[in-house]
Structure 1
């Protein structure tokens, strides 16, 4: 089981170079920012100029100390708690044949994925007018203020893990859910999740456990074109190792 943290920007997804199994993922951010180097001559000129500008032995004011602090783990835990409480969410997905309810927040879903954004907009347009919705809420014993979206082509556990990734930026990938997560990453344009699935699959194949992944592809082959491409890449990488 592997944990992969998201580096996806919230408003607009960056275009990362997509690589096949077994190759370095070019285009992935390392987390470090490069700084332009100055030559020693430039540095000397700057220091000479700065000294000449100060008279009467005056020294420049010291720059204030700045410390950047991040507490991402607590934020992730809070967001994960929120999506586990239906009353705090405003989107309800009904997943699979049994229509299992899985909840989310439209502000996060829409800003993390353009596909989710369009799904939410379409669902909002189909909502009845306020007068009709009030009448229906009186008739129903369990009124709901959620935007309801049906998702039939995913296993509920896999889709729940996908929604957790979108909200929290982390995901637990294993051999039973990697195919569903890969299909979700392809459909909802989650580039860094797709890369994480590829990395996990590459390591699993190297350990000789590709068959465990292939068992999870049966359901998705009937619903997702990405599943067929996923299997092709698995077989292709197996051949490259054995050949």
Structure 2
């Protein structure tokens, strides 16, 4: 399993190698640059101090950057429904997954539009107020139906949107790729392609294709993804 850390604007990480299975030179619209797994001390700490010799005319300045605790805090917040204001109802089993609209809307234009639309469809009125008293668990949340994803895959995706990091494996890579395509997070698409390319080279494609079956009838991106997997696999086999 590869840990792909999405790079916050304040963090300087190694640039992710582009995938061989159809990179389309997309920019990173989300504001994050994906990176491969950090090594050594970089994995343990995301804190850095940079100093420069001030000129005689400039005051002394020290820049201090620490993002790991911020990521951990955001991950903790989205695990607590009472601290969130968006609730996704995901899949056939209608699993609730929570997020913060300020983060979601600023990370993805698609999320921004979904949230605005959900707010328009839930006007504040006497009827809605009365209903919210009967269902207090929904009263403080914008509710958005997400029907075409496996709940655990979408939970990983929402975690990535908030925290900038995700564990990509053979069972969730197709779902993450579809979500990245639908919600326009091109850095995550590149990370999924990179993981898949490495898996194909190692001959580990069976579980990827098996998990992709959940998405093939529902997502155009899944069809393209599987086609690229087969095409790249065939090219390696000669």
- Residue of structure 2 in register with 1:49 after alignment: none
Q: Secondary structure at the match of 1:132?
A: helix
1:2-151 paired onto structure 2 within 5 Å: 2-7=2-7, 20-21=20-21, 61=56, 63-140=58-135, 142-151=137-146
Structure with higher Rg: it is 1
1:165-180 paired onto structure 2 within 5 Å: 165-180=160-175
Contact persistence 1:115–1:188 (CA under 8 A): yes
Structure 1 residue 129: Cα displacement: 2.2
Contact persistence 2:90–2:96 (CA under 8 A): yes
Following the alignment from structure 2 to structure 1, what is the Cα–Cα distance between the partners of residues 174 and 143?
25
Structure 1 residue 236: Cα displacement: 1.1
Corresponding position: 1:155 with 2:150: yes
- Residue of structure 1 in register with 2:47 after alignment: none
Unmatched tracts of structure 2, length 5 or more:
10-17, 36-54
Following the alignment from structure 1 to structure 2, what is the Cα–Cα distance between the partners of residues 99 and 197?
26
Structure 1 residue 160: Cα displacement: 0.2
Following the alignment from structure 1 to structure 2, what is the Cα–Cα distance between the partners of residues 124 and 220?
28
| Alpha carbons of structure 1 residues 143 and 25: separation in structure 2 relative to 1, 3 Å | closer
Q: Deviations over 1:5-28 (max 9, x none)?
A: 22376xxxxxxxx86428797978
Structure 1 residue 130: Cα displacement: 3.4
Following the alignment from structure 1 to structure 2, what is the Cα–Cα distance between the partners of residues 219 and 143?
29
1:225-240 paired onto structure 2 within 5 Å: 225-240=220-235
| Alpha carbons of structure 1 residues 153 and 112: separation in structure 2 relative to 1, 3 Å | same
| Alpha carbons of structure 1 residues 102 and 27: separation in structure 2 relative to 1, 3 Å | closer
Following the alignment from structure 2 to structure 1, what is the Cα–Cα distance between the partners of residues 34 and 134?
55
Root-mean-square deviation (CA, aligned residues, Å) is 2.4
Following the alignment from structure 2 to structure 1, what is the Cα–Cα distance between the partners of residues 136 and 99?
22
Taking structure 1 as the reference length, the TM-score comes to 0.78
Aligned residue pair count: 207
Structure 1 residue 238: Cα displacement: 0.8
- Residue of structure 1 in register with 2:38 after alignment: none
Following the alignment from structure 1 to structure 2, what is the Cα–Cα distance between the partners of residues 30 and 224?
23
